[in-house]
Amino acid sequence: MPKNKTKGSKAERELFKMFLDENFRAVRVAGSGVMEKADCDLLVGKIGKKYAVEVKSTSSIFKYISKEQIENFLIFSEIFGLTPVIALRFNREGWFFISPKELKDSGKNFVIELSDLKKNGKRFSQFFN
């Protein structure tokens, strides 16, 4: 498995465990990051709360996500009545959570910068409680 796929899978498993530890029910989506039509990484819920989660991990201070991927993610979330969430883990900074509408347009991609996340992103307990 390529290094970035391994890193992404590790991040998904880490976040999956965080949700379980907080008494959510969670499912990792088979083929996410590999198959063309896997439009999110995790499905997560508690009574009254349902989320589609796109998981991203990076060692850079920027994370670029294609507009097509976000568009598919939003359509998927809407079809299933889920709240879309982008979960980002920057090396040595921990997890941040944002709504996709908080991504910035950089042309053919969306981008999120670590400095913006530190100001506007939410931590797990802030976003999900």
Q: Which residues are catalytic?
A: 32
- Say how far apart CA 129 and CA 123 lie, in whole Å: 10
Contact 67, 99 (CB under 8 A): no
Q: Which two tokens stand for residue 82?
A: 């889920």
Q: What are phi and psi of 23, to 5 degrees?
A: 65, 25
Closest Cα to residue 42, out of 108, 113, 124? 124
- Say how far apart CA 89 and CA 110 lie, in whole Å: 16
Cβ neighbourhood burial of 126 (10 Å; 0-12, 13-18, 19+): exposed
Q: Which two tokens stand for residue 43?
A: 């499905």
